[in-house]
Amino acid sequence: MFPSVLFEIMLIGLLGIGSQWLSWRYRMPAIVVMSVAGLIVGPFLGIMNPQEDFGTLYKPIITVAVAIILFEGSLNLNFKELRGLGRPVFRISTIGAFIAWILGSLTAHYIAGLSWAVAFVIGGLFIVTGPTVILPLLRQSKLKPRPAKILKWEGIIVDPIGALLAVFAFEIISYLTDNDPSGVSLLLFFAASVFAAILGWAFGRGIGWMFETGNIPEYLKSPTVFIVVIMCFTIADEITHETGLLAVTAMGMTLANMGISSVEDMRHFKENMSILLISAIFIMLTASLNIDTILHIFEPRIIGYVVLMMIAVRPLSIFLSTIGTDLALNEKVLVGWIAPRGIVALTVSSYFAAILGDAGYEDASIITTLTFGLVFFTVVAHGFSIGWLAKKLHLSMEGRPGTIIVGSNTFTVELAKSLIKAKAPVIIVDSSWEKLRKAREAGIPFYHGEMLSEQTEYHLDTTPYEYLIAATDYHSYNSLVCTTFMPEYGRTNVYKVSPYKQIDSDTNDIVNKIGGRILFGEEVSTEDLNQNIASGFVVRQTTLTDQYNYKQYVNERDDAAVLLYMIKPSGKIIFYAEEMKATPESGDIVVSLAPQDKKIQAKLENRRNGTNENGK
């Protein structure tokens, strides 16, 4: 044990964020890394046990985290986004969720041996996949747009529904299994639920109104929402237990559908806060397990339950709910297999384990074991199989990582052509139909719309693309695009063409602080690149070898040539940009915009002038 609780809090944060970083660095499911970290410092080495060390604070910490996580999930439920999702997503999120609940509850009762009340509570909870676990898998597997869209929106929609379903299931089943059932208690619960929903709506509308009227300064908006969420949850939960979850969900949905720009501005804060809470809570939960709980996971009834949930309940719910839709068989197979349960399921189940235990259900003690087993096995099985299965079913985006180019002009069209030649997905986005003419004539994929528009987020699938290049004629717009998409693509994958030739020296320091790494060097502007194309420059590929290394290539290349990007043997594309740290090696392909060979250029000139090689 540690000498102070403060040191333990520090270690929990360090292990949580460190696990997230390792999962990103080595492309592993974050839950697997956090599970291993928590188990090592907890039951295996006995270094800490947060449940014992924090004492009476442990349960409130978990409760607050659950409230924040559910609020963050419900803040994604914008009804505008649900309209264009089509029948498969709607069916899976409604009929499929209901079938999964019933089948999962029956499996929990007859296979895991749980009482009806406990079985139906966790049956409702386990329909949750959740964006916190499914989105990282989609990014690393590079699924085709349709199955990726289905899995993504199922996770977002069902995330808050599962917890609410568990709440209502607990109350209804408790009423039905009571020896002396009284309709008064059930009516009181439903009345309290209506009150909680109205309370959440009122808090959401109130915060939204204060944001819109400027009654809360910008620097206080995120902290205010954070505290109000806790207040909303606490008031509802103090009146009637378990209704706090409904209140914060209603609050999040209300804010999400008010169309307030401030809510979008807080997106990164709430995502960061959610990641921090999820990481810390998961370490706390796994470190608080004991060896007996872990050994129980390997009991036949637990293993049988987990296996049936994976190979029977999930596929059946998907196949039955999508009857009559246009989903192909291979899409049904993939979606029917991929359903990793995540941190939301584990944190909320821990909350219900305490509630059910206090209500006198002795078998509630097995909930944590059952949940941890389902979470761990599904994340490992689905996390490491999604890429392989997608390729087998021909549902993966093959080839190199793709690039979104914002701005259609002569240079970007040639750049897109070279990327297509390199077998890398590319798309040009522009709001001007006239400017897109060159891209259309060249047969390059394009999207006609405003990149910063809300509608673009719904209609442009960005799954195949890892890089974004802003290369319009408006440098302030390029910087705005880069700043907007930097959190999504990462600081090192967002680029803009140099603005320095068309700004004065007084604004250089401003440009340096705005998002987006500068492509090809500060001295190369969009205007220069377009002029180079007009004067006959061409895109060239040069393969480096042991006999012809990068140093030789640099020494022999034309001084006017512009280095564009490198293609590594692995298929990774590295654009030439400021602070580029990659070193070209043998086997790399260097792509540049260079003047034509003089002999070839002379032939073209002669052909244009109507003369032969001898000048006749």
> Among 118-127, 176-185, 555-564, which is the least confidently predicted range?
176-185
Quick one: pLDDT at residue 608?
A: 46
Q: Which amino acid is at 21?
A: W
Taking residues 76-96, report their average pLDDT.
73
Q: Which CATH architecture has domain 5-392?
A: Up-down Bundle (1.20)
Q: Which two tokens stand for residue 96?
A: 């499929």
Specify the CATH number for 402-609; select among 1.10.510.10, 1.10.357.10, 3.90.1150.10, 3.40.50.720. 3.40.50.720
Taking residues 242-258, report their average pLDDT.
83
Which helix (H) or strand (E) segment holds residue 108: the answer is helix 97-110
- Asked if pLDDT for residue 603 goes beyond 90, the answer is no
pLDDT in tens, 442-465: 888 888 888 877 567 656 777 678
Of the spans 53-57, 97-101, 361-365, which averages the highest pLDDT? 97-101
What region, left, alpha or beta, does residue 568 occupy, with left being phi > 0 and alpha being psi -120 to 50 degrees?
beta
SS (H, E, C) 539-604: EEEEECCCCCCHHHHHHHCCCCCEEEEEECCCCCEEECECCCCCCCCCCCEEEEEECCCHHHHHHH
Q: Which amino acid is at 102?
A: I
Beta-bridge mates of residue 573: 567
> Among 31-40, 126-135, 402-411, which is the least confidently predicted range?
126-135
- Asked if pLDDT for residue 315 goes beyond 90, the answer is yes
Quick one: pLDDT at residue 83?
A: 58
Quick one: pLDDT at residue 129?
A: 79
- Band (pLDDT 50/70/90 cuts) for residue 102 is very high
Q: Where are the domains of the chain?
A: 5-392, 402-609
Rounded Cα gap, residues 255 and 76, in angstroms? 10
pLDDT in tens, 200-247: 999 999 988 888 888 888 778 888 888 998 999 999 888 877 688 788
In sequence order, what are the residues at sequence separation of 6 or more whose Cβ sits closer than 8 angstroms to the Cβ of residue 194? none
Q: Residue holding tokens 């740290």?
A: 581
pLDDT in tens, 549-562: 888 888 877 778 88
Rounded Cα gap, residues 545 and 569, in angstroms? 12
Q: Which amino acid is at 181?
A: P
Better pLDDT: 64 or 600:
64
- Asked if pLDDT for residue 598 goes beyond 60, the answer is no
- Band (pLDDT 50/70/90 cuts) for residue 317 is very high
Contact 360, 346 (CB under 8 A): no
